Structure 1
């Protein structure tokens, strides 16, 4: 089968249906999960576009009593989840359609978790065995439909939600937060601006790359990550330069899902810094990971050089670690990604606080080197100034 005409189903880690035009299968997917009145949860930017209205009408025409909830932020908050639960209950809904980029998918999955709980969402933070507190019977089924190729949240068992009182991102987790059905339709990503395609695609790269570099033993995740990185290398420049390239769009959706499947092996320093930066500055997560990437790679060099050299050989990049680092820098430049945090109005004034938060972030545990707060501060300040 030509990759340009991908139409396939697979079950890993959940039921995935990929192919152009497969959004038309959404009503049947909802009914398969017992939904008669799904709540479509997305972000306000997407809600204002025709694609959401068209998707809603698709459901209504099939007899589903669907509605839309879109009052969420780019970095969804606990209050957004509370408001979504209220909308779900008020509309007597019986399932969730998670539609959009990372923010829409994460908010939707958290709402689906919380509709049957009587504890606050923070009680289910991914710490220890908090997930066992969940009333599983009260959770709503989810069909996930990503419209960006980046976070891979459609195949994840967690949501990143900002505690706006503490100004910190928290990971809310339960195994059953994994959506039951995923539809990867590249036609839904065609309208993305080039800068969003680039930033979300670099997020997919960061997931695959940090999973690959993680010191934990998970050979299946490692294999997935390697191929995910290859897909990004081959298809992200095409998807960014040629928005209507369906093959490139489809392969980037697959690479994104692969990254989120692989990072059960662990993430690392890019995310450990990106999470507090996103919480404090409300900056785009994918852009943060893209900017931080070479600085964290360089800081990890002593622990990952041999591994990156193997990866470079697979990617047909010469000169081992140095060649790989130069490829990352060239890719960022080609995609228009800023080289420094200062270019997105982040300075060093809170570097001490951010470095401390990075050491406490769950992602830090998967970094090849357990950086101290001082080491994270050095990386952050290098990313602000561009000192590579």
Structure 2
């Protein structure tokens, strides 16, 4: 059963980053740990964030991997203890934001991340976590307002903790930070944002507010993503895509579907999540035909397609237009791993909310079709 709840303080506009110092003070944080990655530092965004944080001087962790890991979490926890941190700031994409959520969780609750897995019921015991601020630097995952934390454990398993108490206390969305994002990353993150709107619209769970937000996410992303990719300096396109990503995160409580169920295990191979979604989404849309007719009609109207148009053809053509890979083979995925990926996808919690029930064999057929 979905829980209808929207809980976060969001600063949204060009220049919003300038309010960082004030937000740190408002939360009563004295020594924040700033979690980011070396790419953000190289792009000059880290320097801007550190300037905006003044008079506070955050402790820096800039080694966030492309997909968050328990090893990185343990490094952050050691830094937190050694430097006396009392709050966390995430600066980056979904990986940095998920890593920061895990830091906020374990510094307030103790134990190991595996203790809070949603599959084992551990997520139900998550209470208030350490103060956190999320600053997305790409328009994609919507993790800044998400309640889930996804991470690869030391033993290779994937852990997912989910609780509304993990949503960041303050979210700062500044489209200025996305202006320097290269076209391919703009495309890959943007496809992820679009997919959130599409898959939540098709989800069988009833959540009318989330459904309305999801459709508006699709309207914005379908129109503005190609423009943002073609002209990265277009400020309106960047504003609209950051809003689409935020809305995509807001509607996640209606749940996703098979594209994300497959992307989760594939992501453990070190592949970019949004790029995977671009490959998988057209195949899932074709697979779901006849199982979410009302939702598909709403999606066509939101995108501006003819009522008889095939959504999977539109999605495939959009991915090609954006210059993204169209097959798993183009990403270097070995066909030998597909049966195991199908097994994991069939066991993923997001498979339960795909409009068409899928077996392990169904997933294998989808993955082979995308190969």
What is the TM-score when the length of structure 2 is the normalising length?
A: 0.95
SS at match of 2:63: coil
1:345 and 2:335 equivalent? Answer: no
Q: Identify the residue that residue 357 of structure 1 maps to in structure 2.
A: 344
Displacement of 1:262 in angstroms is: 0.8
Equivalent positions of 1:188-267 (< 5 A) are: 188-267=177-256
The question of 1:146 aligning with 2:159 is answered no
Superimposed CA distance per residue, residues 113-163 of structure 1 (whole angstroms, 9 cap, x where no aligned partner): 1112331111111125312444x46x3111111001000000011111012
Matches within 5 A, 1:280-291: 281-291=269-279
Please give the secondary structure, in 2, of the residue aligned with 1:303: coil
Cα deviations by residue, 1:302-357 (Å, 9 ceiling, x for unpaired): 202342123212332114351x3232122111100111110111132111111110
- Does the CA-based 8 Å contact 1:356-1:373 persist in structure 2? yes
- 1:12: how far off? 4.3
Answer whether contact 1:56 1:67 (CA < 8 A) is retained: no
Q: CA deviation at 1:24?
A: 0.6
**Residues 4-23 of structure 1 mapped to structure 2, 5 A cutoff:** 12-23=6-17
Unaligned stretches of 5+ residues in structure 2: none
Structure 1 residues 162 and 320: alpha-carbon distance in aligned structure 2, compared to 1, 3 A threshold: farther
1:159 aligns with 2:146: no
CA distance in structure 2 between the partners assigned to 1:315 and 1:192 by the alignment? 25
Q: 2:361 aligns with which of 374, 381, 385?
A: 374
**Cα distance in 2 for residues equivalent to 1:271 and 1:106:** 16
Give 5+ residue unaligned stretches, structure 1: 1-10
Q: In structure 2, which of residues 102, 106, 130 is the aligned counterpart of residue 114 of structure 1?
A: 106
| C-alpha contact 1:39 1:67 (8 A) present in aligned 2 | yes
Which among 20, 23, 27 is matched to residue 21 of structure 2?
A: 27
1:236-276 per-residue CA deviation (whole Å, 9 max, x = no partner) reads: 11111111111111111111111111121111100110001
Match for residue 52 of structure 1 among 21, 46, 50 = 46
How far residue 38 of structure 1 moved from its aligned partner, in angstroms, is 1.1
The residue number in structure 2 matching 1:294 is 282
Counterpart pick for 2:119 among 114, 127, 132: 127
Q: 2: CA distance between counterparts of 1:346 and 1:51?
A: 32
Secondary structure in structure 2 of the residue aligned to 1:215: coil
Whole-angstrom CA distance in 2 between matches of 1:174 and 1:326: 36
Q: By how many angstroms is 1:56 displaced?
A: 1.3
Tell me the C-alpha RMSD between the 2 structures: 1.5
Report how far residue 33 of structure 1 moved.
Answer: 0.6
3-state SS, counterpart of residue 292 of structure 2: helix
* 1:4 equivalent in structure 2: none
CA distance in 2, matches of 1:316, 1:374: 34
For 2:103 and 2:20, how far apart are their aligned partners in 1? 19
Cα deviation for residue 173 of structure 1 reads 2.2
Name which of 74, 84, 90 aligns with 2:66.
Answer: 74
State the distance in 1 between where 2:96 and 2:334 align.
28
Q: What residue in structure 2 maps to residue 7 of structure 1?
A: none
Between the aligned partners of 1:158 and 1:225, the Cα distance in structure 2 is 18
Relative distance call for 1:381 and 1:233 in structure 2 (3 A) is: same
Asked if 2 retains the 8 angstrom alpha-carbon contact of 1:17 and 1:184, the reply is yes
2:167 is the alignment partner of 1:183: no
The structure 1 segments of at least 4 consecutive aligned residues displaced by more than 3 Å after TM superposition are: none
**Cα distance in 2 for residues equivalent to 1:291 and 1:152:** 20
3-state DSSP of counterpart to 2:219: helix
Following superposition, the deviation at residue 107 of structure 1 comes to 0.6
Match of residue 275, structure 1, among 253, 264, 287: 264
Size of the aligned set, in residue pairs, is: 367
3-state SS of paired residue (1:170): strand
In the superposition, the TM-score normalised over structure 1's length comes to: 0.91
